[in-house]
Structure 1
Amino acid sequence: MIAIIGGSGLSQLSNLDISRREVMRTPYGEPSGALQFGHLCDQQTVFIARHGYGHTIPPHAVNYRANIWALKHAGAEAIVSVASVGGIAPDLGPGVILVPDQIIDYTWGRNATFFDGGDTPVVHVDFTEPYDSRLRQRILSAAARAGEGVVDGGTYAATQGPRLESTAEVNRLDRDGAHVVGMTGMPEAVLARELGIPYAAILVVSNHAAGRGSSEHGIQMEEIEATLKLAMGRVHNLLQHFCGACP
């Protein structure tokens, strides 16, 4: 079974044939919402909206541990994360879809491990390649079959949010080697790694990051909404081919 985590712009998976919904209880509190089980084309699938189905949970308040634990114990064998980001690199403008291969964590104060003391031994997981290479290649192959152009590789800067970044902060991220910036990539990726679940991401560039391109003097929120509406249709198409082309 494949798990899909939907971010901003993807609080519902409209092409999922839902068979049941389940509210999961976890040792880490409540997940963002009920898990939706069903089939996406030929693939058994479970979906959860990262920010809640009403998009009411800000990035820093998402219960990442509960979400990942719930998906694992629901039987998910791999996780595909969908998220919106700001483009830092000049060629990553609004509407571009990116499958990242690296991440830099700038978040703070989040519950970032399942092994946080008490009677649990400390566990150091290898995070050299934060995204599963096989799952990434499966996404890229699905994009090719779907006729959707995507960028292969790039570094995701995960910031705290919920505010957007200043121009100076984006300049710093650029110097650090980041290509896009978002708020939900961590600790989601490392928690999946701790539980041994292959994890990869599909990132939709919703806007130029602060100080870049059309956002040189400010980010226009209405433009983000319009961009996501169009781009998420492409993501739906990609996911259908990822799960097996529908009739």
Structure 2
Amino acid sequence: MAEPGTPPVIGIIGGSGIYEIEGLQNAEWRRLRSSFGDPSDACLFGELDGQRLVFLPRHGRGHKIPPSELNFRANIDALKRAGVTEILSLSAVGSLRADLPPGTFVIADQFIDRTFARQKSFFGTGMVAHVSMADPVCGRLGDHLEAAAAELGLPAKRAGTYMVMEGPQFSTRAESELYRSWGCDVIGMTNMPEAKLAREAEVCYATVAMVTDYDCWHDEHDHVTVDQVVKTLLDNADKARALVKQVVPKLAGRTAACGKGCHHALDAALITHGEARDPEVLARLDAVAGRVIGD
């Protein structure tokens, strides 16, 4: 019997420009189903040097869904149903540090979740689970992303704390300074509860936070605007595509479950006793937790 998480299928969540990767073969858009509603959009399936990839436009093609209205549960559930075993999440962020200028990629390893209007778990009444989030991203994926960025000479920083705000408005100056005092490195609106749900779904997850601006704390730079963000995003797109293409071969060919434990995250997480488990809730969890809840 194959180990959990094998063979590897790489999911990529990000903007539409990321999907235009040279060499992507057998590309086909498919609408995926989910027990938790509709994902943001159809997914682009393809192969890069024989490795299966699945691309999901986080905000939908044309950027039509705001952060607070994203159906994060449907997005992760749909990717799990498509066979995805590891997710590379690319997102635009503001910098909270002078030494992380626009154009820098931060391979974040911690989050502070300040969102409040989002469904944050697949589990609930009828089937309760508590997964560990002490280390919220997969260190193995982070290692490979760091190596790929170095090989390409990209301006990338390994490790950093990503402050996730609700949005859709940008920060006040007081908020920005508060998050800086907490030791946060970057700020964005999308990676929570995405990372939490990936952990619950037993999928490896890593973030590439692409800096587009200095938020509003920096006295020597203009306050963040949509035009500024979009301009830098376009400048970053080529680098992001190159990074994805460079890292894919490093993730291919894995024959064992992730050594960081991502593919076994639910082993000690379920707490509801068998006789108390709600069959309807279990049915919704067939993809996310089917490995541990059984038939």
- TM-score category, normalised to shorter length: over 0.9
Residue 78 of structure 1: aligned partner: 86
Match of 2:43 among 24, 30, 35: 35
* Deviation larger for 220-229 or 55-64: 220-229
The answer to whether the 8 Å contact 2:18/2:240 transfers is no
The answer to whether the 8 Å contact 1:11/1:55 transfers is no
1:148-201 C-alpha deviation (Å, 9 max, x unpaired) = 231011000000011111110111111122110000010000000001100001
Q: Structure 2: which 5+ residue stretches go unaligned?
A: 1-8, 251-295
Tell whether 2:246 aligns with 1:238.
no
Q: 1:213 to 1:202 in 2, by over 3 A?
A: farther
Residue 115 of structure 1: aligned partner: 123
The answer to whether the 8 Å contact 2:11/2:54 transfers is yes
Match of 1:146 among 152, 162, 166: 152
The answer to whether the 8 Å contact 1:4/1:82 transfers is yes
TM-score (norm 2): 0.78
The answer to whether the 8 Å contact 2:96/2:217 transfers is no
How many percent of aligned residue pairs carry the same amino acid? Answer: 36
Matches within 5 A, 1:24-173: 24-117=32-125, 119-120=126-127, 122-173=128-179
Matches within 5 A, 1:4-15: 4-7=12-15, 10=16, 12-15=18-21
Matches within 5 A, 1:201-220: 201-215=207-221, 218-220=223-225
Deviation of 1:214 after TM superposition, in Å, equals 4.6
Q: Structure 1: which 5+ residue stretches go unaligned?
A: none
Deviation of 1:12 after TM superposition, in Å, equals 4.9
1:49-72 C-alpha deviation (Å, 9 max, x unpaired) = 000011000000000000000001
Task: List 4+ stretches of structure 1 deviating above 3 A.
Answer: none
Q: Which amino acid aligns with 1:81?
A: S
Residue 283 of structure 2: aligned partner: none
Q: Which amino acid aligns with 2:223?
A: G
Q: Which amino acid aligns with 2:187?
A: V
1:30-51 C-alpha deviation (Å, 9 max, x unpaired) = 0000011002344210000000
Q: Which amino acid aligns with 1:124?
A: H
Q: 1:18 to 1:98 in 2, by over 3 A?
A: farther
Aligned-pair Cα RMSD in Å = 1.5
| Alignment partners' CA distance in 1, 2:176 and 2:26 | 40
Match of 2:232 among 227, 232, 241: 227
State which structure, 1 or 2, has the greater radius of gyration over its C-alpha atoms. Answer: 2
Q: Which amino acid aligns with 1:143?
A: A
| Alignment partners' CA distance in 2, 1:59 and 1:98 | 20
Q: Which amino acid aligns with 1:230?
A: D
Match of 1:191 among 194, 197, 210: 197
Count residues with an aligned counterpart: 240
